[in-house]
Amino acid sequence: MTQIDFPMEDLLDRPREECGIFGIYAPEREVARLTFFGLYALQHRGQESAGIVSSDGRSAYIHKGMGLVSQIFNETNLGPLKGHLAIGHNRYSTTGSSHIRNASPYLLETNYGPLGVAHNGNLTNTAYLRQRLLQRGVGLSSTTDSEVITSILAAPSEVWTGAEIDHSNDPLDLWQGRIRALMMIAEGAYALTILTRDAIYGVRDPLGLRPLCLGKLGDGGYALASESCALQTIGAEYVREVDPGEIVRIDGNGVTSITGRKSERRALCIFEYVYFARPDSKLEDQVIHAVRQRLGRQLAIESPVEADIVVGVPDSATPAAIGYSLESGIPYTEGLTKNRYIGRTFIQPDQQLRQASVKLKYNPLTSNLEGKRVILVDDSIVRGTTSGPLVQLLRDGGAKEVHVRVSSPPVKHPCFMGVDMATYKQLIAHHMDIEGIRQTIGADSLDYLSLPGLLKAVQEGRQHTGHCTACFSGQYPVTIPAWLFEDERDVPVLFGQGIWSE
């Protein structure tokens, strides 16, 4: 009998999460357990596989597997992960299929000790870098850009990197030189935690497409994480974000900031604010929950409608629904109850259950909906496969009218920087206007937050910031190789352009 690990979230119309990375240096502590809880807090960023690499300064230890953090790790396999340095990774596949050989972190032995790498993001020039490695005789065992990054760091070459590499006998100087060299040739989105024999490094791409932050432990040591919620979970104090293009080294001397590769522009993925990040996390010194409430307020200003109650699609759209209610004066209440334990199961649903997937995830609160004109706030519509069943579920629960409001603009373009945002052929807003989508999902009315409104809400009071809006605008902050659009030859694409708001 074959046991199938089937993610029920895949039944719902949501962009797939990116990855979560973690790193920690804590003298005289066994940090694998802290890394486990850090990854547990970042579980929302990737539910496909997870892994931890630790080191005691002499040897490195690794354990990784397929599934959720709590399914992979236990007291038996955490025990052997010795040492005061560790990195961890939660994966959702972007480059590379869902297979154990593609699970991270990656670990290699080098002349200068162990090298471990955890990566969040997606390199847009992976094919070129991979081919050059193969030409140099470097063997690769997976299909991921993360392994490519690890191999380049393990054995860089000025011949094809075009960058000066430090051949110092000092391992600290050597590794920071190799990381700099990698940053000169790596294009696209990446946040990295890197483990060496003596230090943990945190690296962020020059545009800051992927988040990474730094925290301080109360009894000594520091940690790096994709989101600040992981720092809170392990009792670390949030210090700051790693700057775009910065290399941070954590070792016995504390924290050292090193200039990697700088850019005048910034392009943090704006979908972190819309959906990806946990509501209690901070990005750009803003609490995500507060920003999402501002999205809802702006949506109410732009798209008012007469109704009796406001409900949100739990849990990601709840803050925006509250904001809509506060701005409009229409009472907020719960209209849908979420089954929080259906998120992942080992039993694959049959075809009838797949067709009723929304009912597996949500139930209507009939007593709150009966005879009411309902505003349903959602954070995004991607393929459009969930919105119609949700609208019908509210009607089945007694709603007299259902008006859908979306706290982000229409998603019209795929993402090539580490997010599965579907293809042009799958994106409903690429093929239909708003009225066509409204008819398809069966709502009484439908409207989206405008792109200027989204930027206004996210960047309120902020200076020296910028965000990638490619999934909404089609304007990419990095050059996208034309071959990635081979299946979309009839689609006009704006290469190497971006939307910036300073």
Residues annotated as catalytic (active site), given as ranges: 19
Q: Which helix (H) or strand (E) holds 134?
A: helix 126-135
Q: Determine the Cα–Cα distance for residues 24 and 83; give it in Å rounded to an integer.
A: 11
Q: Determine the Cα–Cα distance for residues 251 and 253; give it in Å rounded to an integer.
A: 5
Q: Which helix (H) or strand (E) holds 120?
A: strand 113-123
Q: Determine the Cα–Cα distance for residues 132 and 448; give it in Å rounded to an integer.
A: 45
Helix (H, G, I), strand (E, B) or coil at 190: strand
Q: Which residue has the tokens 């490519």?
A: 148
Distances (CA, A) of 105 to 192, 443, 490: 10, 45, 38
Helices and strands, number each (H, E), in the chain: 19, 23
Provide the edge-to-edge strand list for the sheet that holds 200-204.
106-110, 113-123, 188-195, 200-204, 246-251, 254-259
- Let me know: does 378 contact 339? Beta carbons within 8 Å: no
Closest CA to 362 of 330, 323, 396, 409: 396
Helix (H, G, I), strand (E, B) or coil at 399: coil
DSSP letter for each residue of 437-464 = HHHHHT-SEEEE--HHHHHHHHSTT--S
- Let me know: does 101 contact 142? Beta carbons within 8 Å: yes
CA torsion sign for 221, 223, 229, 233 is negative
Closest CA to 182 of 169, 195, 166: 166
List all residues 6 or more positions away from 200 whose beta carbon is below 8 Å from its beta carbon.
Answer: 23, 24, 25, 85, 86, 87, 193, 194, 222, 224, 249, 250, 251
Q: Determine the Cα–Cα distance for residues 224 and 119; give it in Å rounded to an integer.
A: 12
Q: Determine the Cα–Cα distance for residues 235 and 399; give it in Å rounded to an integer.
A: 44
